[in-house]
Structure 1
Amino acid sequence: MPPPSLPAVVMSTASAPAPAVALSPLLIACLAATWIIWGSTYLAIRFALESFPPFFGMGTRFLLAGALLLGWARWRGAAWPERRQWWHALIVGALMVGGGMGGTAYAEQSVGSGLVVAFIAIIPLMITLLNRLWGVRPAPGELAGIAVGLCGVLLLTRGAGFAASPVGLLAIVIACLTWSLGSVLSQRRLPLAAGAMGFASEMLGGGAVLLVLAALSGEQPQWPTPLAAGAWLYLVVFGSLIAFNAYMMLLALAPAGLASSYTFVNPLIAMLLGVALGGETITHYEWFAAGIILTGVVLLLYGRRDH
């Protein structure tokens, strides 16, 4: 699962200069987890799709991960979320996990994982625009990043991968919009329970919504192949549990800019893995478009840091 929204994290520390941080072995391990594991989850989703339909596969993944995280949080003494917080978790989970991750998996049925994650790099730009509804005005540098990023997305959608699958393009657009909206609502209107309990309740709510979507769409899971089963377990353990906790550790120990560096590393990792291990084809034009998107994200980060 992709992490909490980047702009909100950076915004909370925008007025303070980034302190110098020594890259301890712990920080290096956490960075490796957010860069490599999150970047590899998109290829793992594609492998899991061999046996698990998109909504069923993602729904069961997040239900199991949410249950494990909830049990761990309770064992550590965390209080149960209040009823209001459960409702918030259901709404946010429906948008971020149901729409965001469900739409991503659906898109990967017809679009390469590397191209999907290159498109997903636009999410920080979308969140910045949505925050405008709550009076958060982008700085000039952020506006430049948004403009450059949107140009990159326009170029990417005209490439061979998305042009061959209008349905896949629509699915990933919906995924990015719902993920961005859920991120902003969780920050502005629908706060979750604190800590791991809030994330667990969001995964449980989103997983339940995905299983409802799977039933409504008539998905029929198959007996999993070894590759699909291994990919699904990888998503549960490494994607939904280890990488997220590594990200939270980074937020506690490192500047937000360093913690958020996954935003422009994940697309490169995913595209390289898709070509090397998934047999995907990415044209020079699509690599160029992805580079434009990542340039926009870097400009956005730099513009917010100086705001």
Structure 2
Amino acid sequence: MLASAPTASRSLILLALLALYLIWGSTYLATKIALGVWPPFLLSAMRYLLAGALLYGALRLSGSPAPSRQDWWRAAIMGVCLPVFGNGGTTFAQQYIPSGMTALLVASVPMYLALLGWASGLTARPNAKVLLGLVLGVGGLLLLLKTDSTAPVLIPGHALLGIGAVLVGSFMWAVGSLYSRQKPIGGSPFIGVGMQMLCGGFYLLLIGLLHGEGSSFHIDAVPLKIWGALAYLVVFGSIIALSAYVWLLKVVEPTLAGTYAFVNPVVALLLGWLFAGETLNTGMLGGAALIVAAVALVVLGGKQRQPRKLA
């Protein structure tokens, strides 16, 4: 039987959602900056190995019990779905498509979560408010996608490769999110986050080396600005935001936790306008308004549903 999600205060849930909305929305710009020097898989590997070692090490030193072999197995599966496919795929894609478009495509996550959660029996069928919110969210994203982007890409001419990588990564992120809800790692949820980041970082390192990134990358040539972007990804994008996301999956509906993917494109576009010279127009503002309405409907609709228990 799948136990009901633990109760949590509204203020903590709101704080965790804001962390996902603002921090993960800003990581697209930080990733774009870091990709100017770091190859994609080694960048993701370094991000998660450092974040995982810091989080896991701190919790173990503070007295958290050692995880079981089963916990490490579950962390290994989550590491493939979340850090490898989810983040590694989007980082790889940002070589070929603008960071704003990457954030827009990641907004497929809530749809995957709602439909896969319903199909697997982990959540009830989406009600009318949630379905309307998802439709509005897709409409807002399509409106944003129709606007012209002035963001340059590192490797032009392979947009379909980038789009495919994001869509596959988003699907696997949803699968891993639902798996973590159904098969949680024992003990503190935060030590589980550290474990999955360590596992995912190790896989990403192997992928990067097999991809030939080690031969063309020289770590001693990385400038201070790029180290700053990496530090932001490690501390804020991984330790803080990913911990908030995994905690939210335990206390709220997966669809609500996934609403970050509707808000992140708005944040990414605003940061692109402020710091990367990209333009804002009425299409972008209209799309952002639809996305805000979509999040509100998903939040209100999700409050009325209770998780379905599995026998």
Q: What's the TM-score once normalised by structure 1's chain length?
A: 0.79
Q: Give the counterpart letter for 1:304 in structure 2.
A: G
> 2: distance between equivalents of 1:266 and 1:207?
23
Structure 1 residue corresponding to 2:297, chosen from 296, 299, 305: 299
Structure 1 residue corresponding to 2:186, chosen from 189, 193, 201: 193
Structure 1 residue corresponding to 2:132, chosen from 138, 141, 144: 144
Matches for 1:1-307 after TM superposition, within 5 Å: 12=5, 33-135=19-121, 136=123, 137-156=125-144, 160-161=148-149, 165-188=159-182, 190-195=183-188, 196-219=190-213, 220-222=216-218, 223-244=221-242, 264-281=262-279, 284-307=282-305
Q: CA deviation at 1:27?
A: 9.8
Deviating more after overlay: 73-82 vs 239-248? 239-248
Q: CA deviation at 1:68?
A: 0.8
Tell me the matched-pair count.
Answer: 289
Give the secondary-structure state (helix, strand or coil) at the position aligned to 1:78.
coil
> 2: distance between equivalents of 1:94 and 1:252?
20
Q: Is the 8 A contact 2:105 2:163 kept in 1?
A: no
Q: CA deviation at 1:94?
A: 0.6
> 1: distance between equivalents of 2:43 and 2:103?
18
> 1: distance between equivalents of 2:173 and 2:286?
25
Give RMSD over aligned pairs: 3.6
Q: Is the 8 A contact 2:71 2:185 kept in 1?
A: yes
Q: CA deviation at 1:140?
A: 1.9
Give the secondary-structure state (helix, strand or coil) at the position aligned to 2:92.
helix
Give the secondary-structure state (helix, strand or coil) at the position aligned to 2:137.
helix
Give the secondary-structure state (helix, strand or coil) at the position aligned to 1:191.
coil
> 2: distance between equivalents of 1:86 and 1:130?
24
Q: Is the 8 A contact 2:263 2:291 kept in 1?
A: no
Residues 116, 181 of structure 1: alpha-carbon distance in 2 compared, 3 angstrom cutoff = same
Q: Spell out, residue by residue over 1:200-228, the C-alpha distance to the aligned partner (whole angstroms, 9 max, x if none).
A: 00101111111122122222324313222
> 2: distance between equivalents of 1:105 and 1:124?
20
Residues 20, 292 of structure 1: alpha-carbon distance in 2 compared, 3 angstrom cutoff = closer
Q: Spell out, residue by residue over 1:62-81, the C-alpha distance to the aligned partner (whole angstroms, 9 max, x if none).
A: 01110111110111111121
> 2: distance between equivalents of 1:132 and 1:99?
22
Q: CA deviation at 1:144?
A: 1.9
Q: Give the counterpart letter for 2:231 in structure 1.
A: L
> 1: distance between equivalents of 2:130 and 2:142?
18
Q: CA deviation at 1:141?
A: 1.6
> 2: distance between equivalents of 1:249 and 1:97?
16
> 2: distance between equivalents of 1:156 and 1:249?
30
Q: Is the 8 A contact 1:62 1:236 kept in 2?
A: yes
Q: What's the TM-score once normalised by structure 2's chain length?
A: 0.78
Q: Give the counterpart letter for 2:84 in structure 1.
A: G
Deviating more after overlay: 134-143 vs 89-98? 134-143
> 2: distance between equivalents of 1:93 and 1:53?
20
Give the secondary-structure state (helix, strand or coil) at the position aligned to 1:103.
helix
Percent of aligned pairs sharing the same letter: 38
Deviating more after overlay: 235-244 vs 172-181? 235-244
Q: Is the 8 A contact 2:193 2:246 kept in 1?
A: no
Q: Is the 8 A contact 1:93 1:206 kept in 2?
A: yes
Q: Spell out, residue by residue over 1:109-130, the C-alpha distance to the aligned partner (whole angstroms, 9 max, x if none).
A: 1222233223323322321111
Residues 281, 207 of structure 1: alpha-carbon distance in 2 compared, 3 angstrom cutoff = farther
Give the secondary-structure state (helix, strand or coil) at the position aligned to 2:63.
coil
Q: Is the 8 A contact 1:107 1:171 kept in 2?
A: yes
Structure-2 residue corresponding to 1:3: none
Q: CA deviation at 1:266?
A: 3.3
Q: CA deviation at 1:48?
A: 0.6
